[in-house]
Each structure stands twice: as structure tokens, then as C-alpha cells.
């Protein structure tokens, strides 16, 4: 125990001044791990860990992610891996919850497509609602339109089997939620906090017990806490924050 505590103190001390590469190497050395061990020291869009990220790189999630990450021409292999993993694994917890799945903010459709495969959606007897106006409008971009967003809904629909239970709605939230009944899982990635906070009461009311809502931009660069936290407080829920900047709320 004393040896473990001494190592921890050294690691904490070194972390204050050592460059990341040196720090990672020292951690590996102290723990008796090879520096080149697979699935360690990767960077997932600003999230870096010295721990083993094997679940992101091996198994069913990784197989689905490797099939689909190239759908977005602006992606590199790992940039969205951790964020997609959070969405897909949280969706997995809702497979047996009553209601459909909702995904708002689609663009090229990578995260939604990975989710579909990972949860084996075609076996669930649910409908997957994909919501996006496909106008490439980014409210956070002074230019309005973004060159990084997809404007072709047919590109997204073609990713799925012809008979897949997928409905694409070319509208914005909260308006697009009107015709949807009970919801088991919802993911919001519209980069539009006012629209998402306005949608939260509607989504939460439609959310079945055990259902989950994931918000992709809750704590990303700059944070959107001022927008979202009052909305969560009104609902009486506390969000679970992730190092990716995402958050999730569960309806009990």
C-alpha cells in the first residue's frame, strides 16, 4: 500500500509540469506497462486518458464505428470515437424501454448510423426518428452556413436498408417533436442550445421511465451550462457530465 501511495504522489507531482508524452511514459513505467500498449494514450477530440480504452477499439461498438466513421468526409478515425461510444452505449441501455428513438442534428449521420448497428435497431420494433433541416445552418457560426454540415437527406437515408424503420424529418426542434409519441432514447446534437432547451420539457414528458436523453454540446468549448442548467432544474433532474462535454439525464 505504501508503494502504491508513493507512486501516486510521484505521478501527481510529475503531471503538473511534464509534457503529455513524458507523463504518459512515466505512468506506464510506474505501472509496469509497455508504452506502446494498444488502446492507451489516444486523444478523442480533446479527451486524453492513460487508461486502457479497449472498449472503444475492440468488439461490437468498434466494428460498427469502423464501418461508418468515413461517412463524414471531415472525420479522422478517432476524433468522434469516444462521443459516438457514449451515445451508442447509452442507447443500448434503452433497448427495452417503451418508445421510439430520436436523434436531432444528423449532418452526415455517423453517430446515428453507429447507434443503429450497435443496438441492432431492426430487432427492437421501434422507429428511429432522424431530425435535421439539412440547411447546414450553424447558429454559432457568424457566416450562418457551415461547410462541415451535410445538406443532402438522401445521403443519410441511403446508409440504411430500404426497409429500415427510419423516418427522416426535415424540420427543427422543438417543432419536429409534435408527431412523435413515447420516446425511449433521444440524442441532441444540433449545436443550437436555445432550440434544445426549448425541446427538453417536451422530450422529458414523452420519455418513458428508464429512458435517456443525451446532449452533445452541454460542456464543450465554452460550455452551455447557463442555457441548460436552468432547464434541468425545472425538470428536477441532474445531468451526468462526461469528459467529452456531453451529458445525459435519465427519467426514473
What is the tens place of the pLDDT at every residue in 88-141? 999 999 999 999 999 999 999 999 999 999 999 999 999 999 999 999 876 655
Q: What is the pLDDT of residue 75?
A: 86
pLDDT in tens, 147-157: 789 999 999 99
**How confident is the model at residue 31, as a pLDDT?**
57
pLDDT at 11 over 70: no
**Rounded to an integer, what distance in angstroms lies between the CA atom of residue 29 and that of residue 6?**
14
User: What domains sit in the chain, N to C, each tagged with a CATH number?
Assistant: 2-54 (no CATH), 58-250 (3.40.50.150)
Q: In angstroms, rounded to a whole number, what is the distance separating the alpha carbons of residues 199 and 174? A: 5
CA distance 85 to 91: 10
What is the tens place of the pLDDT at every residue in 70-91?
A: 999 998 889 899 999 999 999 9
Global pTM? 0.85
By the 10 Å C-beta count (0-12 exposed, 13-18 middle, 19+ buried), 119 is classed as buried
Burial class (CB within 10 angstroms; exposed 0-12, middle 13-18, buried 19+) of 161? exposed
In angstroms, what CA-CA distances link 120 with 8, 69, 98, 113, 206? 42, 18, 16, 11, 23
The answer to whether the CB of 251 falls within 8 A of the CB of 209 is: yes
Amino acid at each position: 500500500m505504501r508503494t502504491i501511495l508513493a507512486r501516486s504522489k510521484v505521478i501527481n507531482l510529475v503531471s503538473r509540469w511534464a509534457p503529455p508524452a513524458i507523463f504518459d511514459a512515466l505512468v506506464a513505467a510506474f505501472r509496469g506497462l509497455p508504452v506502446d500498449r494498444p488502446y492507451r494514450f489516444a486523444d478523442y477530440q480533446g479527451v486524453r486518458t492513460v487508461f486502457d480504452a479497449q472498449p472503444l477499439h475492440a468488439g461490437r461498438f468498434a466494428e460498427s464505428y469502423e464501418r461508418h466513421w468515413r461517412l463524414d468526409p471531415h472525420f479522422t478515425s478517432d476524433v468522434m470515437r469516444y462521443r459516438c461510444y457514449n451515445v451508442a452505449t447509452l442507447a443500448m441501455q434503452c433497448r427495452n424501454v417503451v418508445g421510439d428513438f430520436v436523434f436531432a442534428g444528423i449532418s452526415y449521420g455517423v453517430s446515428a448510423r453507429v447507434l443503429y448497428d450497435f443496438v441492432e435497431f431492426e430487432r427492437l420494433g421501434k422507429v428511429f426518428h432522424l431530425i435535421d433541416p439539412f440547411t447546414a445552418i450553424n447558429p454559432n457560426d457568424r457566416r450562418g452556413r457551415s461547410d462541415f454540415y451535410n445538406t443532402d437527406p438522401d445521403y443519410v437515408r441511403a446508409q440504411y436498408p430500404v426497409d429500415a424503420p427510419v423516418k427522416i424529418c426535415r424540420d427543427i426542434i422543438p417543432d419536429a417533436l409534435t408527431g412523435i409519441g413515447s420516446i425511449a432514447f433521444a440524442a441532441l446534437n444540433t449545436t443550437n442550445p436555445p432550440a434544445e432547451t426549448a425541446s427538453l420539457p417536451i422530450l422529458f414528458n414523452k420519455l418513458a421511465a428508464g429512458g435517456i436523453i443525451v446532449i452533445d454540446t452541454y460542456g464543450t468549448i465554452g460550455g452551455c451550462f447557463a442555457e441548460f442548467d436552468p432547464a434541468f432544474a425545472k425538470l428536477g433532474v441532474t445531468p451526468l457530465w462526461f469528459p467529452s462535454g456531453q451529458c445525459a439525464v435519465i427519467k426514473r
